[in-house]
């Protein structure tokens, strides 16, 4: 499976480079996000499927793994290029927004929490950190309730 994912990602990155080399600068950003999002979403899907088969579905092992690995990858990706001044803005969009954004939004949530904390505003950091989780759960409950009321 890992070989299939690697081959798929390699083909997408190659196509990404070819497209970006010829693309108008105005459309480069959306193209980068799009080309990263497709393999990110597919990785999320297949990892979730395999974890469900391997460990069962009584706990969302796939999502748990995806959230943690996505946070790790986001931390590594935002650190390495900044430390080494390597990644182009298009490549950062492809990986951080496109791939990791569709792989897991948890990685962005974790990064945003750290950035708020580093900014020195503890109150805002706590509001975002806890509020996202608690209000997200409330949003699910409210959405389910509203939909059930509309359907019945």
Rounded distance between C-alpha atoms, residue 46 and residue 35, angstroms? 18
Lowest average pLDDT, out of 14-28, 49-63, 70-84, 128-142, goes to 14-28
Residue 14 has pLDDT above 90, yes or no: no
Structure tokens at 136: 């997200």
Q: What is the pTM of this model?
A: 0.67
pLDDT tens, position by position, 125-151: 999 999 888 988 888 888 888 888 888
Domain residues of the chain, as ranges? 2-105, 120-152
Least confident of 25-29, 69-73, 77-81, 122-126: 77-81
What does the pLDDT look like over 87-107, one tens digit per residue?
A: 678 888 888 889 998 998 787
């Amino acid at each position: 499976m890992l070989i299939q994912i690697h081959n798929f990602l390699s083909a997408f990155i190659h196509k990404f480079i070819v497209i970006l080399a010829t693309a108008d600068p105005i459309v480069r950003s959306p193209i980068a996000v799009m080309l990263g999002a497709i393999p990110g979403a597919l990785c999320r899907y297949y990892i979730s499927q395999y974890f469900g088969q391997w460990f069962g579905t009584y706990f969302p092992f796939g999502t748990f793994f995806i959230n943690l690995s996505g946070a790790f990858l986001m931390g590594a990706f935002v650190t390495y290029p900044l430390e080494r001044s390597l990644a182009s803005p298009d490549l950062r969009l492809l990986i951080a927004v496109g791939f990791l954004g569709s792989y897991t939004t948890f990685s962005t949530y974790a990064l945003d929490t750290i950035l708020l904390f580093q900014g020195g505003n503890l109150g805002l950091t706590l509001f975002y950190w806890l509020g996202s989780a608690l209000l997200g759960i409330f949003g699910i409950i409210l959405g389910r309730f509203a939909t059930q009321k509309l359907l019945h």
